[in-house]
Amino acid sequence: MNIHTTTRRRIAAAAAASVAAVLALAACSSGGGGEPGAGDKPYVALVSKGFQHQFWQAVKQGADDAAAELDVEVTFEGPETETEVEKQLTMLQTALDKNPDAIGYAALDSEASTPMMTDAESRGIPVIAFDSGVESEVPVTTVSTDNLAASAEAAKHMAELVGSGKIAIVGHDQTSQTGQQRVEGFTQYIEENAPDIEIVDTQYAGGDQLKSADAAKAIMQAHPDLKGIYGTNEGSAIGVVKAVQESGRSGELTVIGFDSGTAQTDAIRDGLMAGAITQDPIKMGYETVKAAVAAINDEQLEPVIDSGFYWYDETNIDDGDIAAVLYE
Amino acid sequence: MTTQSTTPARAGSRFGNRQQLQQILAFAGLVVIFAFFSVASPYFLDWANVKGILLATAVTGIMALGATFVIATGGIDLSVGTGMTLCSVMTGVFLANLGLPLVVGVLGGLAIGALIGLLNGLNVAFLRLPPFIATLAMMMVAQGLSLVISGTKPIYFSDVAGFDQLAAGELVPGLPNAVLIFFVAAVLAGVTLSKTLTGRYALSIGSNEEATAISGVDVRRWKVVIYVVAGLFTGLAGVVMASRLNSAQPGLGLGYELEAIAAVVIGGTSLRGGKATILGTVIGALIMATLTNGLRIMSIPQEWQKVAVGIVIVLAVYADMLRRGKEA
């Protein structure tokens, strides 16, 4: 019995020690920036939709670039997945409580944050919406990609490449505005401009590569004469490429994607994907911080700042303008 | 069906018939679902599509095999989803970053899985944490570590020759290796559960832990062994996942554990422990994948697909409980 207790104590001690070590490590890696808001520099808190995804890392890079250039302090955080609305609201609340000079906010749910928007307004903290709009009068401007125009551009290329016949869409999210517009802009363009093309199915797979691949395969199975598939974000597009490859039909279907990432750029270089639309996440981050600084200085801002998009394919993937906004 | 070769596990001959009944029921369910979709869509019953279903089953199925052992003890393993991701990422570190030989990298991935299992086992058996809590903690640790280690970026295996063939190659012509690996893993799991001490003690601990201890079995040691076995399957799932995507995606994995647990439960393994069947788990995983695939082929929207899967889980577990009620 005694032996057991000692062992248990030892294990507990070891566990405690390892926790302490991890915490110490974490403290080291997050240090260096100093206490946000403590210095004389204006402090801009950015609450994004995500963190780990490459897209958000590119936004962060743009924000950091602007911070260095405009000499402001910027923090960047976001929930792990784009479904954690509640967690994001907590982050927004915490950011507000730090009393920043301005807040940049990419809303996962555009209505859920209304009370905090009011809170920000009453404290006189200007809010810059980025990536997607916020259903509120509070944000002074919205920095975002025009997703309707961008997905219409994808449809234009699909129509040119396919000519006529059946195509399908693998979407990433039917509940967010971005996810809806990526499908809507595409569908609208095809309906209005390509009467010979029929969109036979639109399936959503949450942007998960495996699930998108399975969904794309099921669509291909149900429509053997399918001529093209459009994937509305990185995960969806890579899943579609995977599905075409695994079905041994590479080259037979026209695949068009959205965003970038090494797997997608490789697929375009290898001819597995016809091309894709890329947003300009670096510009999005940059413009958000720039707008925040302008708001802090009481400058007038346009209600919407377009952060732009590009069509890229084999021919222009290595051009300077394009290569700069493609992330790995 | 190839899976018929797996021997059903028996918790003593007394339970033999009832277990077979449950398996027959699960299998009949699968047949009914298959028949339904075959009639509903002309494209469903086609080898290419069946192959797609099997491929979609492989990763979740392998995780579910491991989860079956833990659930047999009356425990639960919530760490299999993100644990799998961590194994993918570490395989990426071994192969793509460190350039280790293929075999070493794959074994390394499995070893990380075993290590995750070892820690789970130690926490459950020696610190006496409830399995739900121990593996919930591990789920978070694994998710965090995947992001930290990968620097939140996917790790690509483009330069690792032959890695993608682990899942995509066809040792048996027409059958992707990922599916073959799943079947072989299922046979190994079946043998381990029914013919080895690990399996027998898992069931024995699950039906009556105290009695097992009194009969002289070192329950704590065997629990650790059982969690390590489960971890090995998590590792294998991680390697197969990475190979199929030819990349380690640090953001994936969350939610996969629930699909694995659902597969185990649909197959007839009781969450109360003491009763487990590998063949059932294989059928359960196939039911989940078949249902999703069939609904997709019929172009049923994703939100309804989830409703359907939920209903199947309720039906399967209720059928199981009805029989148990009769036993009492």
Burial (CB count within 10 angstroms: exposed 0-12, middle 13-18, buried 19+), residue B19? buried
Taking the C-alpha atoms of residue B177 and residue B173, their distance in angstroms, rounded to an integer, is: 9
Whether pLDDT at B326 is above 60? no
Q: Could you tell me which chain B residue has the CA closest to the CA of A207?
A: B252
* Residues of chain A found within 8 Å of residue B48, distances taken between Cβ atoms: 221, 247
Residue A35 pLDDT: 45
Q: How far is B275 from chain A (nearest CA, A)?
A: 30
Sequential pLDDT tens for chain A (328 residues): 455 555 556 655 555 555 555 555 554 444 333 444 445 789 999 999 988 777 888 899 999 999 999 999 999 988 877 777 778 888 888 888 888 999 999 988 777 788 888 889 988 999 999 987 777 888 999 999 999 999 999 999 999 999 999 999 999 988 777 889 999 999 999 999 999 999 999 999 888 898 999 999 999 999 999 999 999 999 999 999 999 999 989 889 999 999 988 889 999 999 999 999 999 999 999 999 999 999 999 999 999 999 999 999 999 999 987 887 887 7
CA distance A217 to A199: 16
Residue A82 touches partner B, C-beta closer than 8 Å:
no
Residue A16 near chain B (CB below 8 Å): no
Question: A221, B297: Cβ pair inside 8 Å?
Answer: yes
At A152-179, the pLDDT tens digits run: 999 999 999 999 999 999 999 887 778 8
Distance from CA of A259 to the nearest CA of B (A): 15
pLDDT tens figures, B188-199: 999 999 999 999
* Predicted pLDDT of residue A96: 87
CB A216 within 8 A of CB A244: yes
Angle at B63 between CA B306 and CA A328, to 5 degrees: 80
B298 touches chain A (CB under 8 A): yes
Q: Are strands A127-130 and A165-171 parallel, antiparallel or unpaired?
A: unpaired
Predicted confidence at residue A1, as pLDDT, reads: 43
Q: Taking CB atoms and an 8 Å limit, are A217 and B41 in contact across chains?
A: no
| CB contact at 8 A, B299 and A222 | yes
Residue B1 per-residue DSSP state = -
Per-residue model confidence as pLDDT tens digits over B178-188: 999 999 999 99
Name the residue facing B147 among A52, A54, A204 (closest C-beta): A52
- The answer to which of A108-117, B28-37, B103-112, B256-265 has the lowest mean pLDDT is A108-117
pLDDT given at position A5: 52
Minimum mean pLDDT range among A209-218, B99-108, B153-162: B153-162
CB–CB contacts below 8 A, A to B: 102
Over residues B69-90, mean pLDDT: 96
Element (H, E) at A276: strand A275-279
As a whole number of angstroms, the distance between CA B165 and CA A328 comes to 23
Q: Does residue B246 belong to the interface with chain A, where contact is any CB pair within 8 Å?
A: yes
Those of residues 87-146 in A touching chain B at CB distance below 8 A are none
Q: pLDDT digit string (tens) for A211-263?
A: 999 999 999 999 999 999 999 999 999 999 999 999 989 889 999 999 988 88
Q: pLDDT band for B322, please (50, 70, 90 cuts).
A: confident
Residue A14 sits at the chain B interface (C-beta within 8 Å): no
Alpha helix positions (H), A101-233: 114-122, 147-162, 177-193, 209-222
A30/A136 Cα distance (integer angstroms): 33
B283 or A79, higher pLDDT: B283
Sort out which chain B residues have CB atoms less than 8 A from A8's CB and list them: 126-127
Query: Do the Cβ atoms of A223 and A199 come closer than 8 Å?
Result: no
Q: Using a CB–CB cutoff of 8 Å, tell me whether B46 touches chain A.
A: yes
Helices A209-222, B278-297: crossing angle, 10 deg rounding: 60
- Residue B38 burial (CB count, 10 A): 14
Helix (H/G/I), strand (E/B), else coil: A255:
strand
| Closest Cβ opposite residue A52 in set B41, B251, B303 | B251
Give B9→chain A minimum CA distance, Å: 31
Q: Is the pLDDT of residue B12 over 50?
A: no
B74 shares contact with chain A (CB less than 8 Å)? no
Output the pLDDT for position B16.
55
A18 and B CB contact within 8 Å: no
* Structure confidence at residue A55 (pLDDT): 82
Contact check, Cβ <8 Å, A214/B56: yes
How confident is the model at residue B201, as a pLDDT? 95
* Distance from C-alpha of A113 to C-alpha of A134, rounded to nearest angstrom: 8
Most confident of A170-174, B5-9, B66-70: B66-70
| Predicted confidence (pLDDT) at residue B9 exceeds the cutoff of 50 | no
Does the beta-carbon distance from B56 to A210 stay under 8 Å? yes
Contacts of A242 in chain B (CB under 8 A): 244-245
Average pLDDT over residues B124-146: 96
pLDDT attached to residue A317: 93
pLDDT(B1) > 50:
no
The percent of residues above 70 in pLDDT, for chain B, comes to: 92
Rounded-to-integer distance, Cα A91 and Cα A47, Å: 7
Q: Is B304 on the interface with A (CB under 8 A)?
A: no
Minimal CA separation from A23 to chain B, in Å: 12
